Amino acid sequence: MQNFEQFLLDNLPQSQSIHPHYESALQNMLQAGGKRFRPALLLSVVKAYNPLMLDSARHGALAIELLHTYSLIHDDLPAMDDSPLRRGNPTLHVVYDEVTAILVGDALNTYAFEVLSKAPLSDEVKIKLIRELAQNGGLNGMVLGQAIDCYFENRPLQLEDIKTLHTNKTAKLIAASLKMGAIIAGHEDVAEKLYDFGIQLGLLFQIQDDILDVTQSSEEAGKLTNNDEDKNSFVTILGLDEALREANVLADALTEQMCSFDESLQRELSPILTKYINRHKGN
Amino acid sequence: MQNFEQFLLDNLPQSQSIHPHYESALQNMLQAGGKRFRPALLLSVVKAYNPLMLDSARHGALAIELLHTYSLIHDDLPAMDDSPLRRGNPTLHVVYDEVTAILVGDALNTYAFEVLSKAPLSDEVKIKLIRELAQNGGLNGMVLGQAIDCYFENRPLQLEDIKTLHTNKTAKLIAASLKMGAIIAGHEDVAEKLYDFGIQLGLLFQIQDDILDVTQSSEEAGKLTNNDEDKNSFVTILGLDEALREANVLADALTEQMCSFDESLQRELSPILTKYINRHKGN
C-alpha cells in the first residue's frame, strides 16, 4: 500500500485561487492517513487476477477513498456526529469552519467521478466503475445509511434494521471496492461473489468498529470513542459479549467463504482480512 | 420544456426504506419548479444540431439540473446563506432539518453521475459528459465559486475577482450545459465556442440576479431578496446604475456573438436568451 499512499499524495486535489485556505482544506483529510482499507481491497483483487492493471487500478482505488473521505467529513459535521477528532487530527470544521467542511466534502464527492472519468482505462470499464461507485455510494447506498443512522438516533432499531443501516452506510462501499477490482481486472465472473462477500465483510467491519468504540481510548482510535450511546450500534443492541460473539461467527464464516476463492485471490486478500478481522481482538 | 419537466418527474430519485421522509426530501426541491435554464440550454443545442438525439439528451439535462439543485440546497444551509425560501417554497432544512438537507444535497450530487452513467448514449459520449460536469461543477468550478463567495463575505473584492467568483460559481455550469449539448449532438466542433459564449452568458445571468435581488420583492423572486448586502455582488461593487449598464453591454455583445452561430442554433437559442437576457428589465 506504500505505492497507493504515494499515488494519493501525487494526485491530491489542486486548486489555486484567491481563497487562502481552500486548497489546503481540500488536501487536509486525505493527507491525514487512514487505514486505506477500501483501496487495499480493490487493489488486492486486481493484483490477484491481473497485476498488469495495477497502475491503472490505483485511479479506481483513489476514487473510492475520495468518496469515503467526503463521507467522513460530512458525518463529522456539527449537524451530524459533531466530532472533534478524525484520523488522530482535529476534524475539518474544527480546523477551518463548517462552510469549508461542507464544501470540501462536496468537492471530493464530485472529484471521485472526475478521477474515474480521466483514468487510463477503457470507456466501457470507466462507465461500469462510475455506475458501481454512484450506486453504492449514493442515495440508495452510503447516503441512505447515514440518513437512517441520523434519523434513528435516540430511536432504538431492531437488529434487522441495524443490519440494513450498516449494509448501506458501510458495507456497500466495501463491497463495491472488491467488485470494482474485479471489473478493472477483467474478471467480472467473480464480481457478484466478491460483492456478496464484501457486504458480509462490511458488516463485520462495522461490528468491530462498534466494539472498538467502547473498548478503545480516543488516542488509540484517533477519533472520539464512547460516542455512540445514542446511536443504533451493534453493541448498544446486542451488548458487548453478544456483539463479540457475532463478530467471531461472522469472521469464521468469512474465513470459510475465502476457501472457495481462487488461490491467487486468497493469497492477496488474506493478509488484509487477517489485519482487519482481528481488529477487535486488539491486534 | 414541458417534455423535460415530465421527464424529470418520471425520473425523480427513489428510495424506499424505513426512513419516513428521506424519499420525499430527495424529491422535494426537484418538484418545486425552477427555471430549468441549464436543461433548456443543453436541449436547445441538441435540437439545433441533432434533434434525433433529444430523448437521450434529456438524461444529460437531468444530470445538470441535479447538480444545480444540490448546490442550491447546500448554498441555502444555515452555515452558508441561511435562506428560508427557494423556488417559492421553504428550503429543505426548514421543511425537514439540516442533516436531511446536507444528505439530500450529497445524494443528488452523486445521483447526477449515476444518471449520466446509465444514459442511453455511447460510453465514449457518457465519459465526456461526466468529465465536463465534474470539471465545471466540482472543485475548480461551482464549488470553488461558492467557497470564494462565502469566504469573502464582509471582505470586499475587486471587480476582476468578483468575475472570477461568478465565473466559477455560476457561469461554468451554464457553459458546460451548452458544451454538453454539443457533445451529445455529435458537434464537438462548436463545443469550445459555445463554452466561451456560456461563460459570458453566465456572468450576465449573475449580474441580472444581483440586480433583481435589489429590485424584486421576495414574492416575485420566490426566494429571499435584498439578502446580498454582505456579499460581493455586482450591484454592491458597481452600484445599480453601473450594473444595469454592464448587463446591457454584455447582453448586446451576446446578441452580436449569436449572429455568428449556425442558423438552426440561433433559432433554438434566441427565445431562451430573450427570456433571460431581459429578466432585469422586468420581462
A190-217 confidence digits (pLDDT tens): 999 999 999 999 999 999 989 988 888 7
Whether this prediction's pTM lies above 0.90 is answered by yes
Range A242-249 average pLDDT: 92
Answer yes or no: do B74 and A19 touch at CB < 8 A: no
DSSP state of A164: H
What is the distance in angstroms between the Cα of B156 and the nearest Cα belonging to chain A?
13
Q: Percent of chain A scored above 90 by pLDDT?
A: 82
CA pair distance B231, B214, nearest whole angstrom? 12
Split at pLDDT 50, 70, 90, the class of A283 is very low
User: CB contact, 8 Å: B175 with chain A?
Assistant: no
Long-range Cβ pairs for the range A216-225 (8 Å, 24+): A218/A85, A222/A85, A222/A86, A222/A87, A222/A88, A222/A89, A223/A83, A223/A85, A223/A86, A223/A87, A223/A88, A224/A83, A224/A84, A224/A85
What is the distance in angstroms between the Cα of A255 and the nearest Cα belonging to chain B?
31
pLDDT at residue B1 in the model = 63
Name B86's bridge partners: B89
Chain A residues within an 8 Å CB radius of B27:
none
- Residue with cell string 436568451: B273
**Tens-place pLDDT, residues A142-184:** 999 999 999 999 898 999 999 999 999 999 999 999 999 999 9
Q: Contact at 8 Å (CB) between B110 and A143?
A: yes
**How far is the CA of A79 from the CAs of A82, A98, A150, A238, B31, in angstroms?**
6, 10, 10, 27, 25
Answer yes or no: do B134 and A144 touch at CB < 8 A: no
* CB contact burial B111-148 (16+ within 10 A = b; e otherwise): bbbbbbbebebeeebbbbbbbbbbbbbbbbbbbbbbbb
Chain A stretch 189-248, residues whose beta carbon is closer than 8 A to a beta carbon of chain B: none
**Tens-place pLDDT, residues A99-137:** 999 999 999 999 999 999 999 999 999 999 999 999 999
Answer yes or no: do A102 and B108 touch at CB < 8 A: no
Range B9-28 average pLDDT: 97
From the list B99, B130, B144, which residue is nearest A113 (CB)? B130
CB burial of residue A241 (10 Å; 0-12, 13-18, 19+)? exposed
User: CB contact, 8 Å: A160 with chain B?
Assistant: no
Q: Contact at 8 Å (CB) between A42 and A61?
A: yes
Nearest CA in chain A to B162: A18
Answer yes or no: do B77 and A18 touch at CB < 8 A: no
- CATH architecture, range A2-281: Orthogonal Bundle (1.10)
DSSP state of A281: G
CA pair distance B11, B61, nearest whole angstrom? 12
User: CB contact, 8 Å: A131 with chain B?
Assistant: yes
pLDDT at residue A207 in the model = 93
CA pair distance A164, A199, nearest whole angstrom? 11
pLDDT at residue A278 in the model = 63
Residue B10 has a CB neighbour count (10 Å cut-off) of 9
Residue B239 has a CB neighbour count (10 Å cut-off) of 11
- Residue with cell string 459528459: B129
What is the distance in angstroms between the Cα of B172 and the nearest Cα belonging to chain A?
15
CA pair distance B248, B139, nearest whole angstrom? 31
What is the distance in angstroms between the Cα of B263 and the nearest Cα belonging to chain A?
33
CA pair distance B6, B185, nearest whole angstrom? 22
SS3 label, residue B221: helix
pLDDT higher than threshold 80 for residue B229: no
Sign of the CA dihedral B62, B64, B66, B69? negative
SS3 label, residue A183: helix
Residue type, position A161, single letter: D
Q: Where are chain A's structural domains?
A: 2-281
CA pair distance B132, B136, nearest whole angstrom? 6
State the complex-level ipTM: 0.95
Residue type, position B76, single letter: D
Nearest CA in chain B to A140: B15
Chain B residues within an 8 Å CB radius of A124:
123
Residue type, position B167, single letter: T
User: CB contact, 8 Å: A108 with chain B?
Assistant: yes
Which segments of A138-171 does DSSP mark as H helices, in order? 142-151, 159-166
Cα atoms in the 13 Å half-sphere on the side-chain side of A192: 1
User: CB contact, 8 Å: A19 with chain B?
Assistant: yes
Answer yes or no: do B111 and A15 touch at CB < 8 A: no
Among candidate residues A192, A186, A137, A181, the one with its CA nearest the CA of residue A40:
A181
Phi, psi of A85 (to 5 degrees): -130, 145
Give the mean pLDDT of chain A.
92
Phi, psi of B90 (to 5 degrees): -60, 145
Answer yes or no: do A134 and B127 touch at CB < 8 A: no
User: CB contact, 8 Å: B18 with chain A?
Assistant: yes
Least confident range from A6-15, A63-72, A218-227: namely: A218-227
Range B197-226 average pLDDT: 84
Q: Tell me the residue ranges of DSSP E strands in chain A.
A: 85-86, 89-90
Residue type, position A14, single letter: Q
Nearest CA in chain B to A103: B143
Answer yes or no: do B126 and A131 touch at CB < 8 A: no
